Chain A
Amino acid sequence: MKVLVPIKRVVDYNVKIRVKADQTGVDLANVKMSMNPFDEIGVEEAIRLKEKGVATEIIAVSVGPQEAQETIRTALAMGADRGILVKVAHEVEPLTVAKILAGIAKAEGPQLIILGKQAIDDDSNQTGQMLAQLLGWAQGTFASKVTIEGGKAEVTREVDGGLQTVRLNLPAIVTTDLRLNEPRYASLPNIMKAKKKPIDEKSPSDYGVDPAPRLKVLKVSEPPKRKGGVKVKTVQELVEKLKNEAGVI
């Protein structure tokens, strides 16, 4: 079966971002960009399914600027077979991405689409669920374990109270959580090989999607800053301060 893995190019998780002084957004000039960490987990899961003989082909898809091609190359170097880059110069909202992915799903016919649970830039946590609805498929979000058997996917999910396991008809959507796996690093030979793997270039209009944002961003501002307090020397001093100064115990 074919597996589709949507991957987003985002500011690297180690970067401390800066809000632009004019409050129009976050300063992305000369900032290190990487694959969204949850999407690396998605690519890794697809590769493991291929190694088990469950998946036959892995297609990495990114919606974004030309540079997102580098992110697709990373997925190809990890072990994806081919890529699709849907070029959009500006930021795209989750619903738009979901609509584009739905178009790709209809064209490619995957049995499984593995997305990240959340992009660490917009922190939306929406795209996979939206895609599932648009396609009329079942979803297993926040997955920490995925087993494919007998035309179904069994997905263990990380939920507020612990774990929940659901069984999904295929085709289905899975979104990854942190404990699903530990993504591999691409080896040098695989990075070389990835250069020859094909990447198709598309545009939203190929799928009949208008990429214009629907929400208007009025401003992006700094959060209120917390200032560091004092150091205490002993546990006794700490308890005294919590009791008499802060009044929280």
Chain B
Amino acid sequence: MAVLLIAEHDNKSLKDATAKAMSAATALGGPVDVLVAGHNAKGVADAAAKLAGASKVLLADDAQYANQLAENMAALVVELAGKYDAVLSPASTSGKNFMPRVAAALDVPQISEIVSVDGPDTFTRPIYAGNAMQQVQVAGGKKVITVRTTTFKAVGTTGSAAVESIGAAKGPGTSEFVRDELSKSERPELAAARVVVSGGRGMQSGDNFHLLEKVADRLKAAVGASRAAVDAGFVPNDYQVGQTGKVVAPELYIAVGISGAIQHLAGMKDSKVIVAINKDEEAPIFQVADYGLVADLFKAVPELEEELKKQGY
């Protein structure tokens, strides 16, 4: 089965999500070509060529792919799709944006956010905020799949695929990029961090997130949040963890002042170890926490930072 995997990147670096989606792609059993569509993205293509399992990297380097507009990305992928039996991409906001267009153009259903490849045409995906797992079989036609990357291991970088430059497809020209307002952070990316410290409505203000950042700095952690904290303007939208935000599965997830609504749990319950700090001992978050601390966060979080410091973190 010939597979096309679409790389996740920001024109500068290849994202870890691509290496994870590569695991899903190779599980389909066939040569996997990687498409890097971007602008001045030769470095990304070179990194993709090292992914174990890549048989070829296609580089479409053109100004129209600088911001991965869905209309242009879909036109390109659809043009390439003829040669492939399956098209995969990480279920990032970028993949979610253009992949359904590809599926519609090919007149096939899309299988969203698979968490396992159970057979060449059989996949499992979460529904209802992960409260049920649906196993589906594709009848025929090309497969269009997005991959929940937290459940797949990143492949190694032992590959040495050739990079082939390809031309741009004719974009429909119906949309244009205006601007980006990207969150700047020295911390690891939320989706890839080994430790995540998240705050909820209990944090009371954006300023108070500094308490969490201090802990995060000691543990080289990313900082996340609940929807309530984002809605209240404490932190930017890209901090949101959950059913309709980011899905994370770090080694350690520390939930502070978060009640544990199902929509939040959907985004973090696959973490290896969960810690909850909440003053309400009845909070549902304790039902999934490996270690629960019933305490006022304004006392416990500074203490935690102090203790970590004492222990040399």
Contact = CB atoms under 8 A, between A and B. Distances in A.
Partners in one complex: yes
B181 A178 contact: no
A211 B288 CA distance: 40
A124 B219 contact: no
5 contacts: A19-B132, A118-B244, A164-B177, A229-B289, A238-B291
B286 interface: yes
A161 B183 contact: yes
Contacts, number: 257
A166 interface: yes
B7 interface: no
Contacts of A17: 128, 131-132
A154 interface: yes
B186 interface: no
Given A98-B104, A162-B237, A242-B252, A217 B263 contact: no
A160 interface: yes
B70 A215 contact: no
Contacts of B137: 215-216, 218
Nearest to A157: B93
A157 B274 CA distance: 31
Contact of A130 (B101, B135, B236, B251): B101
A236 B129 contact: no
A126 B179 CA distance: 24
A215 B103 CA distance: 13
A228 B292 contact: yes
A243 B311 contact: yes
B304 A124 contact: no
Interface string B258-270: 0000110000010
Interface in A199-220: 214-220
A20 B263 CA distance: 21
Contacts of A177: 237, 244
B273 A248 contact: yes
A95 B103 contact: yes
Given A95-B103, A138-B71, A160 B238 contact: yes
A126 B293 contact: no
A163 B237 contact: yes
B138 interface: yes
B100 A94 contact: yes
A216 B122 CA distance: 9
Given A16-B131, A133-B105, A139-B71, 14 more contacts: A93-B109, A121-B127, A154-B178, A161-B10, A166-B176, A166-B178, A215-B109, A221-B135, A223-B126, A223-B130, A231-B292, A239-B307, A246-B291, A249-B252
Contacts of A117: 244
Contacts of B103: 95, 126, 130
A216 B136 CA distance: 5
B191 A130 contact: no
Nearest to B71: A138
B112 to A, nearest CB: 5
B162 interface: no
Contacts of B129: 120, 123
Interface of B: 10, 67, 69-71, 74, 92-94, 96-105, 107-113, 122, 125-139, 172, 174-183, 191, 195, 219, 227, 230-231, 236-238, 243-244, 246, 251-252, 262-263, 269, 272-275, 281, 286-295, 300, 303-304, 307-308, 311, 313
A13 B246 CA distance: 18
Contact of B174 (A169, A218, A231): A169
From A133, A178, A243, name the one whose CB has the most chain B CB atoms within 10 angstroms.
A133
Interface of A: 11, 13, 16-17, 19, 26, 38, 93-95, 98, 117-118, 120-134, 136-142, 144, 154, 157-169, 172, 177-179, 214-223, 226, 228-232, 234-236, 238-239, 241-243, 246, 248-249
B92 A160 contact: yes
7 A-B pairs with the lowest CB-CB distances in the bound complex, closest first: A129-B100, A229-B290, A138-B174, A130-B104, A133-B101, A138-B175, A126-B100
B263 A13 contact: yes
Contact of B93 (A95, A139, A160, A232): A160
B247 to A, nearest CB: 11
B291 A228 contact: no
Contacts of A120: 128-129, 243-244
From B10, B70, B130, B288, name the one whose CB has the most chain A CB atoms within 10 angstroms.
B70
A183 B152 CA distance: 37
Nearest to A235: B303
A144 B100 contact: no
B238 A165 contact: no
From A172, A215, A216, name the one whose CB has the most chain B CB atoms within 10 angstroms.
A215
B180 A168 contact: no
B127 A16 contact: no
A124 to B, nearest CB: 5
B291 A216 contact: no
A167 B178 CA distance: 6
A129 B303 CA distance: 47
Contacts of B101: 129-130, 132-133, 139
B252 to A, nearest CB: 4
Contacts of B274: 226, 229
